[in-house]
Amino acid sequence: MNFLRLDRHFGQSLELFVLIPLAAVSMSVISGVVTFHLGVPDTLQDFLKTTTLVALLVSVPMAGLAAQYDLRIRRSNEKLERLASTDPLTGLLNRRSFLSAVGDEMARMKRTGNSAAIAFVDLDRFKQLNDTFGHKFGDEVLCTLAVLLSDELRHPFDKLCRWGGEEFVVLTSNVTPDQARGIFERLRRRIENHCFESGSVHTYVTASFGAAPVSAMSDLDEAIQSADEALYAAKRGGRNRVVFTSLESDTGVWPLSA
């Protein structure tokens, strides 16, 4: 990414190096043409008219070039920002951007006193699906899953991230633990009941959820670790279930669905 930025900056500097001499040459040519046709101004009034005409003939096209150049820079920067903050396959937030969003949400919770929940979502037996139908179909399943999850969330309040591989992370904002359990269970059922299709291939998949509450006083690393442990508990418990861990519970984790 750094090499890409250096290449783009070099290209932009080269364009400026070309545009500035071009503007100077254009002004000289236009001034010469105007002077040749109109003659040397004899009075101050004629001089001001000629100068104004030359300035307009030069500045208008140069302003257009400058505006176009600025627009190209803005679009390039926006594209670079999207590439740096999103997952290239699904278009979801990548891990770095998601963690930044969670940090912002925790700062907001300090002001509002609200709570949230974080959940890992992992497709069950995804390697088997890839081996059976191919990696292309597996990628299509991941993209479809991203849409299914996104459609059930409240934007822009909830956040969705592709953590890596077939693993996603969801942050639900301004919810109680009971409300979060209901949201994650609804997401689980949505995945379970969806038929994933591509051409003549169609199949059903399931996902396991490991969730943990998040408050303004939570340690983010501990909350993520707790949700990750809950995910492993869901896998060990038979997959296709939601396991929610309470950071204050002596019993650790418990399944919400079979």
For residues 188 and 241, the answer to whether their CB atoms sit within 8 Å is yes
pTM confidence score: 0.68
- Kindly state the tokens that stand for 80: 């670079």
By residue range, what is the domain housing residue 53?
2-85
Predicted local distance difference test score (pLDDT) of residue 34: 60
Same domain, 174 and 204: yes
CA dist 138 and 135 (Å) reads: 5
Residue 119 domain-assigned (yes or no): yes
Select which of 81, 166, 167, 197 is catalytic.
166
Residue 90 domain-assigned (yes or no): no
pLDDT surpasses 90 at 138? yes
| Number of structural domains found in the chain | 2
Residue 168 domain-assigned (yes or no): yes
Same domain, 49 and 109: no
pLDDT surpasses 70 at 57? no
Active site residue 166: yes
Residue 231 domain-assigned (yes or no): yes
Q: pLDDT > 70: what percent of the chain?
A: 64
Same domain, 107 and 69: no
The residue out of 57, 85, 113 marking a domain boundary is: 85
Same domain, 131 and 80: no
